[in-house]
Amino acid sequence: MKYLLLPKAVEMLSKLSPHLQKKFWKQVRLLLNNSRHPSLRAKKYDESENIWQARIDDHYRFYFKIEKDIYVIIKLRAHTD
């Protein structure tokens, strides 16, 4: 699998601290190697739009679609309970 960051995701990523950016890239590597890795907690977020959610850490998530063999990362955002 490959990944693609949409412009909105790139913009949001640039606003995160270097520490959170590092965590994000670690999680992307995990996603590429094993989408079921426990630390990702990947799950379907919006069935009708085929959008998935995965965790960066306890407080941040990223959202993506799966298109053929590409994870298209749509956005990143703070997670609220």
CATH code of the domain containing 43: 3.30.2310.20
Segment 13-36, tens digit of pLDDT: 999 999 999 999 999 999 999 999
Number of domains the chain is built from: 1
- Provide the pLDDT confidence category of residue 7 given band limits of 50, 70 and 90: very high
**Domain with 6 in it:** 2-78
Q: In the chain, where do the E strands start and end?
A: 2-5, 43-46, 51-55, 60-67, 70-78
Q: Which amino acid would we find at residue 5?
A: L
Instruction: Note the pTM of the prediction, 2 decimals.
Output: 0.93
